[in-house]
Amino acid sequence: MTTLFSLPIRKTLTATLLSFSLATFAISTTQAAEIEMSFQNVLQQERAWAGLQSKTIKVGDITWSYSEGGQAGKPIVVLIHGLAGSRDNWNRVARALTANYHVVIPDLPRFIEAANLTGPAHVAGHSLGGSIAMLYAGQYPFETKSLFLIDAAGVYKSATTPYLKDPNQVKNMIVSKKGDFNFLMQQAMHTPPFIPKEIAQAQEKMMIAQSEQTQKMVDQVIALNKLYTPDSFALLARSIDAPTLILWGKQDKIINVEVAPELKSLLKNAQAPVILDNVGHMPILEADQLVVQQYLPFLNKVQTQKPATTP
């Protein structure tokens, strides 16, 4: 089977699940083991609904997971999730893309900072995934057709939230005990969606089991943050040539919306930021249709643009 990735490993990342759009599917079991199995079945059903298949690729002794949909040969779109997320955060948005694009959604646990693609790609990133997308675009300008940055992490002069001013506060968002999942949902979303009790419990249990890995990831983020300043981050942003769409939730408690115009000012080819009212840090889950309404016309515009020519 032909794969999209050659996967040269540079840095490893770990992450956990945050929230999935589960309202479409009904769970009728009450036994714990059956609930866990149903939870995984829900994710598989949602991927299929979005036109995605779950795939893996083995590199050495490590197996990487990702979702893939659409036809090979179509324009490539890579969707990168955030620190406390998973590939399934993108399922609703991906459903609108798979008909016309070759969509790839890597799972960041133990995944790479950047992947070598078979051709130029449109790259979208949410939260920490946004900073990964910017890093990729800066390093591989000829392989990046466009950028879509959603509540993107960075080192900003206009940062005001506790999580940006003191990255150690991110530790408070690790789900390590009962009740932490509810706190995370309240912080990440302006209006958290209803999740059936059994599913929420299964999800929290999974995240608690992964909390040690998540802690290691947070420690890495804190250490890296000490190496960057707003000025050094600005240098990275200014090196990016790709057409860029910026979108933010106005009520984001993690990365305040005021940094969106700052980010726009640093990028050479960015549109005015799109700000969604009554949306928090997770527009791809809280307002997926509004995200799609902005992203599809942007992609079409980039696709139809003629390459710049040298006089």
Q: What single string gives the DSSP state of each residue in 243-279?
A: -EEEEEETT-SSS-TTHHHHHHHH-TTBPPPEEETT-
Amino acid 165: pLDDT: 87
SS3 81: coil
Which helix (H) or strand (E) covers residue 119, if one does? none
How much is the pTM?
0.79
Residuewise pLDDT in 10s, the chain (311 residues): 333 333 322 222 222 223 322 222 233 334 445 555 566 777 888 899 999 998 887 766 767 788 999 998 899 999 988 876 778 889 999 999 999 999 999 876 444 333 445 678 999 999 988 988 998 899 889 889 999 999 999 999 999 999 888 888 888 888 899 999 899 889 999 988 777 787 788 888 878 887 887 788 788 778 877 878 899 999 999 999 999 999 999 999 999 999 999 999 999 999 999 999 999 999 999 999 999 999 999 999 999 887 654 44
Strands (E), 121-207: 121-126, 144-150
The C-alpha atoms of residue 152 and residue 131 are separated, in whole angstroms, by 6
Q: Looking up tokens 């980039």, which residue turns up?
A: 302
Pair 203, 104: CB distance under 8 Å: no
The C-alpha atoms of residue 119 and residue 215 are separated, in whole angstroms, by 35
* Residue 166: both structure tokens together: 């003191």
Amino acid 98: pLDDT: 95
Amino acid 281: pLDDT: 96
Q: Which residues pair with 111 in a beta bridge?
A: 13
Amino acid 149: pLDDT: 98
Pair 52, 94: CB distance under 8 Å: yes
* Residue 78: both structure tokens together: 């890579």
At residue 184, what is the residue type?
A: L
Domains of the chain: 28-162+227-301 (3.40.50.1820)
Which helix (H) or strand (E) covers residue 191, if one does? none
Amino acid 59: pLDDT: 65
At residue 288, what is the residue type?
A: D
Contacts of 161 (CB under 8 A, 6+ apart): 252, 253, 254, 255, 256
